Structure 1
């Protein structure tokens, strides 16, 4: 692994630029789960659409599910970022995301039915929408490399997702931040995952959609990283390798 140069510190993280991944030097590939393999946005939207009708939210003055889902997604992303940085707890995240959504829509949060959250937590992880080429790509890579998961999601939901989507067969280890006690991009979770996988940093590569959690987090410990960028967002200069579709990995490795 060749370090080319360092970028100035940004948001407290020193970003190190690496040469493109050299597959012949790798034995282990670490994947993020949500937003990289499991299509969080699509699965959440399907669940919220169903529950919006079940709970008759139109009667509360929310005219159609689109605005509700858009507002929820914005609040959920904000609260997950706070959770990743240890600013709120799992309980606070789950309590706030729908309450804040109701409040932003001009509805008293006290009117939000507590059973809605319970139903959402039960139904959403059972959805099986994956990003295109997930199974084909993981099957191909498993024949040549040892695969692992590192997820900032909650353990109970993550376990359901990998079983329902028949993903468990691809991964030798699965590291969940909730169980480790630290979240990506904290270096400790990467060191823990590598040790748990019985490999080392130089032989490993991280693949994920989050520039901060997956790419910068991996780079901070000296691990190569590939940015999963299905929406074709602007790629920062410290990202030396990015893909828009998972099947591109079958040509890289």
Structure 2
């Protein structure tokens, strides 16, 4: 079988021309970059002096809250403003910081610093370069315009992608079918020749599958894979063997 073909159940062979990638948690290592940023801000803001003696507990609590709020943002339950106003406030209060001493500018400083970080998942560049020689690559991100632009530019990954679709710009988030249709229209692609790769089961994988487009689940932490998700990789480099 040619590497550009994937054998599906019932011996169906699918050949792709377009690959659509998610950005955060799939190529750009969101958690690692956030952790670096928060360790720096923990020291800058001297958070130990307002009742947070453990930087690691602070980061762990923030990460959990942030993931939950992003899941709500994906599905339109909260806005960008609500996400940004809530994630650190909730974390500080959960850890016992009095509302009167919450660091007001913390969110703004985090938003300025975090997108400048450049940690990608292992083998991101070589994988994207390999795939670019065989397919037309695109990005579909639920991220915010300013942050996504910085992440793409600072890591020099923009050169691999023909079209970059950022949900905030078009006003539609994954898993809404409209963002996948918009991406296909922009790319001049058809569903049957396209595949989505992302870490979010709800936004990326089921979003694409429910739209009628194939998907690969990027699962770097080996979370349980639902039985109705046929394709997954745990490392980006696996894509060079699968596609």
> TM-score band, normalised by the shorter chain?
over 0.9
Task: Spell out the pairing of 1:17-166 with structure 2 (5 A cutoff).
Answer: 19=9, 22=13, 25-166=15-156
Q: 3-state DSSP class of the match of 1:188?
A: helix
What per-residue deviation string (whole Å, max 9, x for no partner) do you get for residues 198-226 of structure 1? 11111100001111111100001110111
2: distance between equivalents of 1:242 and 1:99?
A: 35
Q: Is the 8 A contact 2:194 2:214 kept in 1?
A: yes
Listed one character per residue, the Cα deviations across residues 80-103 of structure 1 (whole Å, up to 9, x for unaligned) are 111111111111110111110111
- 1:100–1:109 Cα contact (<8 Å) kept: no
TM-score for the superposition, normalised by structure 1: 0.90
How much has 1:110 moved relative to structure 2? 3.7
Q: What is the rounded CA distance, in whole Å, between the counterparts of 1:21 and 1:161 in structure 2?
A: 37
* C-alpha distance in structure 1 between counterparts of 2:130 and 2:217, whole Å: 19
Deviations 1:152-192 (A, max 9, x none): 11111000000000000000001111112121111111011
The reply to whether residue 189 of structure 1 matches residue 175 of structure 2 is no
* 1:139 match: secondary structure: helix
For 1:170 and 1:181, the matched residues in 2 are separated by: 24
1:171 aligns with 2:179: no
What SS is found at the alignment partner of 1:114?
coil
Which residue pairs with 1:5 in the alignment? none
RMSD between aligned residues = 1.4
How far 1:119 sits from its partner (Å)? 1.2
Any unmatched runs of 5+ in structure 1? 1-17
Deviations 1:47-82 (A, max 9, x none): 000000000000011112011111111111111111
Measure the CA separation in 2 of the matches of 1:31 and 1:141.
11
Structure 2 unaligned blocks of 5 or more = 1-7
For residue 118 of structure 2, give the secondary structure of its aligned residue in structure 1.
coil
**Matched residue pairs, number?**
235
* Structure-2-length-normalised TM-score: 0.93
* CA 174–43 in structure 1, closer or farther in 2 if over 3 Å, else same: same
Partner SS for 1:131: coil
Q: Which moved more, 1:78-87 or 1:217-226?
A: 78-87
